[in-house]
């Protein structure tokens, strides 16, 4: 399996941003095309420019963008500056804070806001805002100030932020021990057979597209980490379904991966193929209707609606609930109207 590690070690005044080891079965592929599958938000032009500047090394030798990647090649991307995600800049960005005390705060994140800086998103993130508004936030195990957990850029909803080390440790343990409560609301493609169920499947990086995760099972099970999602149908809307998902574990893209795994990809989830019409008719009128829904909701249909945890100081269990955001509500209403006026 391809190995991927963001790094920050210097080598002759250069900083390593990424390192990859091509897998055993790697077919010859231009390095610019190869890297597009592994570095989020990277364009072919940017990769070609990096190669032209001598920033892409294979087996410690600089290569051009037309180099063909072979099995076991060690690919490194080096620049003269440290990775931007390690250069945190405070930014005066307003936050929707739904609760705050001396130990923690709960934020309702808008869709489109990245939680922490990373490749292609070095400013405008939740962390940039947090370090502007709050001093001396504790770092988590990934050196990210205040973050106990995260949600994807285009997922909206609730996050808890720790203000001190004790709170960070206590809350992180609750998430690890599965004693926290997290409920999401999603629109998924298709009509689920069961009213409720549980999806279990180890989740890990997709071996051929590192921007995706996938479910591993059978002999490959150990390539992923255990993940459990409980779902319940809230409303059947013909070719899509409104569902509630409660997380027992917190893997990256967990709901998006698990729902795709059972054949119900999230509506308009571009990364996992949900931006295509996966269910429905072939009529042009229906296609136009779905396109209108995509325009109303230009992201994956996922909202972190409910968050519950035990307060580290008081010992009291706290539960927070948030409204489904306007874009999702509009999409749901469109499907309700469609179902009412169609024979499904």
Q: How far is 324 from 108, CA to CA, in rounded Å? A: 11
- Collapsing DSSP to helix, strand or coil, 175 comes out as helix
Select from 297, 299, 300 the least CA-distant residue to 332.
297
Q: Residues 13, 32, 101, 152: which is the catalytic one?
A: 152
- Collapsing DSSP to helix, strand or coil, 319 comes out as strand
- Is 152 labeled as catalytic in the residue annotation? yes
Q: How far is 164 from 136, CA to CA, in rounded Å? A: 8
What Rg, from alpha-carbon coordinates, does the chain have?
22
- Whether residue 151 contacts residue 159, with contact meaning beta carbons closer than 8 Å, is answered with yes
Q: How far is 60 from 76, CA to CA, in rounded Å? A: 8
- Collapsing DSSP to helix, strand or coil, 344 comes out as coil
| Residue given tokens 């994956």 in the structure block | 300
Lookup: tokens for 271: 């990364």
- Whether residue 151 contacts residue 300, with contact meaning beta carbons closer than 8 Å, is answered with no
Q: Are strands 196-200 and 317-321 parallel, antiparallel or unpaired?
A: unpaired
Q: Which uninterrupted H or E stretch holds 76?
A: strand 74-79
- Whether residue 235 contacts residue 241, with contact meaning beta carbons closer than 8 Å, is answered with yes
* E strand map for 32-119: 56-58, 61-62, 68-69, 74-79, 97-100, 104-109
Catalytic residues: 152
């Amino acid at each position: 399996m391809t190995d991927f590690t963001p790094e920050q070690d210097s080598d002759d005044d250069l900083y390593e941003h990424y390192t990859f080891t091509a897998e055993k079965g790697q077919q010859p592929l231009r390095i610019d095309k190869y890297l597009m599958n592994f570095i989020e938000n990277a364009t072919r032009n940017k990769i070609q420019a990096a190669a032209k500047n001598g920033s892409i090394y294979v087996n410690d030798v600089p290569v051009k963008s037309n180099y063909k990647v072979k099995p076991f090649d060690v690919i490194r991307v080096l620049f003269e500056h440290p990775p931007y995600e390690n250069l945190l800049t405070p930014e005066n960005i307003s936050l929707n804070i739904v609760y705050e005390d001396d130990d923690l705060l709960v934020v309702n994140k808008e869709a489109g806001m990245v939680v922490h800086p990373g490749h292609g998103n070095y400013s405008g993130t939740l962390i940039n805002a947090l370090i502007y508004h709050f001093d001396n936030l504790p770092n988590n195990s990934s050196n990210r100030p205040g973050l106990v957990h995260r949600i994807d850029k285009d997922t909206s909803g609730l996050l808890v932020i720790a203000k001190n080390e004790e709170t960070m440790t206590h809350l992180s343990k609750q998430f690890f021990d599965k004693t926290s409560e997290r409920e999401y609301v999603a629109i998924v493609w298709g009509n689920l057979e069961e009213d409720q169920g549980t999806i279990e499947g180890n989740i890990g990086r997709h071996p051929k597209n590192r921007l995706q995760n996938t479910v591993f099972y059978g002999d490959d099970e150990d390539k992923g980490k255990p993940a459990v999602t409980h779902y319940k149908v809230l409303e059947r809307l013909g070719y899509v379904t409104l569902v509630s998902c409660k997380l027992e574990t917190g893997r990256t893209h967990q709901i998006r991966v698990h729902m795709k795994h059972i054949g119900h990809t999230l509506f308009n989830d571009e990364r996992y193929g949900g931006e295509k019409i996966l269910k429905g008719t072939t009529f042009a009128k229906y296609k136009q209707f779905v396109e209108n829904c995509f325009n109303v909701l230009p992201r994956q249909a996922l909202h972190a609606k409910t968050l519950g945890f035990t307060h580290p100081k008081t010992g009291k269990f706290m539960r927070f609930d948030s409204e489904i955001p306007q874009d999702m509500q509009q999409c749901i209403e469109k499907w309700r109207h469609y179902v009412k006026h169609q024979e499904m």
